[in-house]
Every structure is written in structure tokens, then in C-alpha cells.
Amino acid sequence: MVEQTSTLKITTPSDITVVMSRSFNAPRQLVFEALTKPEHIVRWFGRKVDDMVVCEVDLQIGGTARFVWRFDDGSEMGITWVFKEIVEPERISFSETFDEPYREEMGGTTANVFALDEQDGVTTFAGTTTYKSREDRDRALATGMGDGASEVFERLAELLDVLQR
């Protein structure tokens, strides 16, 4: 088994951006597949206590991804991505829009880039989210998204371990 030892780092390099980065002891192609294939996404994207009820990915320029989680109280949260650029296995760029009532709280529609860099079998993920304003960025950060993201990336690391066995 490959041991994952990295932790999530969150930085704000500008007034309108958030960068989340983490290294994984896994080849870049495998990380790319875990980020883009529905059969993998349902196993890591979201908190353990939430139920992903929709996971659809049309991985092509102009294609969409749709994710919906159902919470314990029966409410749901949905996100739609629209793919702008796909360079397998290096980079994906897309817009991201949360459904109401979360849209404003999460900064409206954002521009996102997932970049993957592999060195000696270790892949570093850098996810950059660009907001329309500092206020939008700060509002999204105030939701505690870093805690949720830490859990999500731990789950991704666990999945990558399983996929490499």
C-alpha cells in the first residue's frame, strides 16, 4: 500500500483567488482519472456524512459535470461545472456554479483550474478558484470550505491508495 502523508494547503495569492494544493503518492494519470471519472468521484467528492445522489460528467470542452448531495435533513446542494479546457492528464479549467440557495454564499460563478504536476511518482494537485471580487472570495472562505476540502482530499488520498493496490 502507498502511504499518503501530505496535507491540504490553502492560500490566497490575490484578492480574488484561493489556491488549494496537496501532494498525492500516485501517478498523475491516476489522479486525473480520480478527478474526472464518475465511478471514482462518487467515492471521494463530498463529506462522508453526505450522500451524493447525482454524479454526471461529460468531459469535453463545453461539456458539463453535475453533482448533487443530499443532507441528513433531506435538503440538497448542487454544483454545475462547464469545462473550458482539458489537457489530459495535466490540467482542467471550468466554471463552477452552485445552485440556490448556496450560489451567493459560495461566490457566484467562479473560474477554476485543476493543475497536476508529477515528480518521481508524486503528483501535486493545485486547484485555483478565481472569484469576481474579494468580498465573494471572503464570503466563500467564511463558510468553512477549508475544513470540507480537507476531508474531501483525505478521502481522495484514501481512494488513490485503494486504486493502487
SS3 20: strand
pTM (2 d.p.): 0.93
User: Given 3.30.530.20, 3.40.30.10, 3.40.50.720, 3.40.50.970, which CATH number is that of 9-163?
Assistant: 3.30.530.20
Domain spans, the chain: 9-163
Question: What is the tens place of the pLDDT at every residue in 110-146?
Answer: 999 999 999 999 999 999 999 999 999 999 999 988 8
Question: What is the tens place of the pLDDT at every residue in 62-75?
Answer: 999 999 999 999 99
Q: Which helix (H) or strand (E) holds 104?
A: none
Location of C-alpha cell 501530505: 6
Q: How far apart are CA 152 and CA 49, in angstroms?
A: 11
Averaged confidence pLDDT in the chain: 94
Q: Taking each helix axis from N to C terminus, what angle separates 134-141 and 145-163, rounded to the nearest 10 degrees?
A: 70
Contact present, 148 and 102 (Cβ < 8 Å): no
pLDDT band per the 50, 70, 90 thresholds, residue 31: very high
